[in-house]
Structure 1
Amino acid sequence: MAPIATCTTTLPNSEPSGFMLPDLFSDCHYPLRLNFHSYPVSRASEQWLLNGASLAEPRITKFMGLHAGELIAACYPDANAFHLRVCADFMNWAFNMDDWLDDFDVDGTWGMRDCCIPAFRDPINFQMDKLAGKMCKSYFSRFMQTSGPGCTERFIRSTDSFFIAAAKEADDRAKGHIPDLESYIAMRRDTSGCKSCFALIEYAAQIDLPDEVMSHPVIMAMENATNDVVTWSNDIFSYNVERSRGDVMHNMIAVLMDEQGLDLQSAVDYIGQLCKDTIQRFEDNRAILPSWGEEIDRQVAIYIDGLQNWIIANLHWSFETTRYFGKDGHVVKRNRIVKLLPKRPLY
């Protein structure tokens, strides 16, 4: 029997000492492939971020343990070096943006949006002295050299949706508000940043799917399924670190504990089952994909493979990065036991 009781047994009125991760890999049999250009592109992108963001310790050490380039190499395994580098720069920027916004209130979040979205709309002429905006100009001016109009617009809109949802999250954080499950799922699909990464599937493959394809209910259902598996599993992986710093309101575990009165392990198990069901939802929709003709169908197949890559790449990378489990990722991946970190003092 799995040692769930061992890691969750508590005395009355006390917190558990840990929890057991669901066996997500047993439900996800997609192949993991790595881009040939991974190492040089990852190192170059890391240096770009360090130079552009002017990080200082301890953020430098935290960033160097992120290994976002390795995630990108598995998400876009067939991209050439130029396109992979743009994807890696965006991902490094996005992770650091996510960390920056954790410290921002609503006005600060809107201010960050105002210095980034205009840089996407006109990366050549838009002038901005803030580092985040300059970095947007850097990677997006390269993005636009080969991106199609549909892909470009989808990337900008989805990144804008990220900022809008992040502002809502900041407002909830300030008010101590935990959303209901339905509202949380809708908001999480935007705060994850996954939608921008899905536009990068087109960019990396140098395709530009028609709007009527991208707005088709089956395609949208597969995107939502991918987004959900990635973000819900991320909520499980990140919960320990977020709990230790007292910031778990925007986490599905906390939502379930608040709304349904579940204990920690029950909430984790609930999400694990949802992830399993959602992978099946992805496959069910793959089975009913319509046809748009030979050439469009070829491009759609590339896009669906890209969504699949995101599911499996995120699972493996979550144990390679130090972001969630420190240097113990390989141990946690093997035994699935997460020991809760002590909560940091407020003062």
Structure 2
Amino acid sequence: MSPTTSMAPTATYVTTHPDCELEVFMLPDLVSNCHYPLRLNPHHDAVSQVSEEWLLTGAHLIEPRITQFMGLHASKLAAACYPDVDAFRLRVCTDFLNWLFTMDDWLERSDVDYILGMHERCISAFCDPINFQTEAPGVKMCKSYLSRFRESAVPGCTERFIHRMDLFFMAVVQEVDERAKGRAHDLESYIALRRNTSCDLPCFALIEYAAQINLPDEVMSHPVIMAMEEAVNDLVAWSNDMFSYNVEQSRGDTHNIIMVIMHEHGLDLQGAMEYCGGLCKDTIQRFEDNRAIVPSWGKEIDEQVVIYVGGLQDWIVGSLHWSFDSTRYFGKDGHIVKQDRIIKLLLKRPCKA
């Protein structure tokens, strides 16, 4: 069985006015295109408090970063994406997501040398969280959650997690290097890089850990399974780009699919949003088309595959709804934006001398 893939839809929108004249824009209706049930882990409240205290202590955050972190609500993302896991494993998943968002913010404000150094230390901590010694706060937190992760994670899941984290760090190095050199992406090359800068793939490895399943490499490397992961990865990354566009354009960031689409297809902002909405709708169809042709590896493995695919589905719906619950993208107006989808365009910040 061949996995189903999809090309970008044909652009049908035209530039009608420059974006400097826009005061508002509208998000595509992604929520209505997602019909999967949203579930929340019952251990969420207890785990959330402990994990937030763990991050604040370990990362040594100060204001305004503390307020920003508390509004992130990454624990709710974990609870929605891993709704059936027990409290111990939910804590590991929640710690990872809290750490990941904090690390991502640190790396965005850094240069290539810093990221390479952080990459080397974090991977060393992942490989040997007990014996590797470090005083770096971000790496010490790696040791903390990975030591608990490795207590029950099977070797295949552990290897996949570490390999995918390696891909994430190296993709961020590429992103930062290209940004410093003023290089721009076409849509195809941007998508390829974004699939790793999103850091979704390590989160998918945690589905195996959370469900306590042991999928062999022949399953995880099968083209149909990989196509489903790719579809979910694309949806989470591209929808995130739409949600974060307003903040990112205001501060001059360019690593965003909306900006790439506007440049490549000559679209205005609203046209690019609708174009990307079509891409996101297509990812769900890709996911379902591939789910329909998942092969069989025998009863025992097939039951685990069903659980894993269900975990990918939880990531689709969980990440989508969480984006409006967090203050990361829409401040305190997420519930309003979720309903009317209207966003006031932020003014660009003045460049620092």
- TM-score clears 0.5: yes
Contact 2:92 2:145 in 1 (8 A): yes
- Residue 277 in structure 1 maps to residue 276 in structure 2: no
- Answer 1 or 2: higher relative contact order, Cα 8 Å, separation at least 6: 2
**In structure 1, distance between residues paired with 2:348 and 2:193:** 27
- 1:57-68 to structure 2, matched below 5 A, reads 57-68=63-74
Cα deviation digits, residues 143-191 of structure 1 (max 9, x gap)? 0000000000000000010000000000111112221111111111101
Of the three residues 84, 93, 116, the one matched with 2:90 is 84
Q: Which amino acid in 1 is paired with 2:111?
A: D
Cα deviation digits, residues 266-297 of structure 1 (max 9, x gap)? 11101100111110010000000101111101
**In structure 1, distance between residues paired with 2:18 and 2:300:** 62
- Residue 133 in structure 1 maps to residue 143 in structure 2: no
Of the three residues 250, 253, 258, the one matched with 2:255 is 250
- 1:222-301 to structure 2, matched below 5 A, reads 222-247=228-253, 249-301=254-306
CA 1:110–1:12 in structure 2 vs 1: closer, same or farther (change >3 Å)? closer
**In structure 1, distance between residues paired with 2:82 and 2:239:** 20
What SS does structure 2 have at the residue aligned with 1:138? helix
Of the three residues 148, 166, 169, the one matched with 2:172 is 166
TM-score, structure 1 length as denominator?
0.95
**Corresponding residue for 1:305?**
310
Cα deviation digits, residues 6-51 of structure 1 (max 9, x gap)? xxx9876833112111011121100001001001101111110000
Of the three residues 193, 208, 219, the one matched with 1:213 is 219
What SS does structure 1 have at the residue aligned with 2:25? strand
CA 1:167–1:11 in structure 2 vs 1: closer, same or farther (change >3 Å)? closer
**Corresponding residue for 2:111?**
105
Q: Which amino acid in 1 is paired with 2:289?
A: D
**Corresponding residue for 1:176?**
182
- 1:21-100 to structure 2, matched below 5 A, reads 21-100=27-106
Contact 2:157 2:209 in 1 (8 A): yes
**Corresponding residue for 1:17?**
23
- 1:144-163 to structure 2, matched below 5 A, reads 144-163=150-169
Contact 2:16 2:268 in 1 (8 A): no
Q: Which runs of 5+ in 1 are unaligned?
A: 1-8
**In structure 2, distance between residues paired with 1:322 and 1:144:** 32
**Count of residues in correspondence between the two structures:** 338
Cα deviation digits, residues 68-108 of structure 1 (max 9, x gap)? 00010000000000000000000000001110111111111
**In structure 1, distance between residues paired with 2:69 and 2:182:** 28
Deviates more, 1:333-342 or 1:171-180: 171-180
**Corresponding residue for 1:5?**
none
**In structure 2, distance between residues paired with 1:15 and 1:200:** 44
- Residue 344 in structure 1 maps to residue 349 in structure 2: yes
**Corresponding residue for 1:322?**
327
**In structure 1, distance between residues paired with 2:212 and 2:129:** 20
CA 1:92–1:160 in structure 2 vs 1: closer, same or farther (change >3 Å)? same
Q: Which runs of 5+ in 2 are unaligned?
A: 1-14
RMSD: 1.2
Q: Which amino acid in 2 is paired with 1:131?
A: P
CA 1:260–1:293 in structure 2 vs 1: closer, same or farther (change >3 Å)? same
- Residue 197 in structure 1 maps to residue 175 in structure 2: no
Cα deviation digits, residues 202-260 of structure 1 (max 9, x gap)? 0000112000000000000000000000000000000001111111x110001111222
Contact 1:10 1:17 in 2 (8 A): no
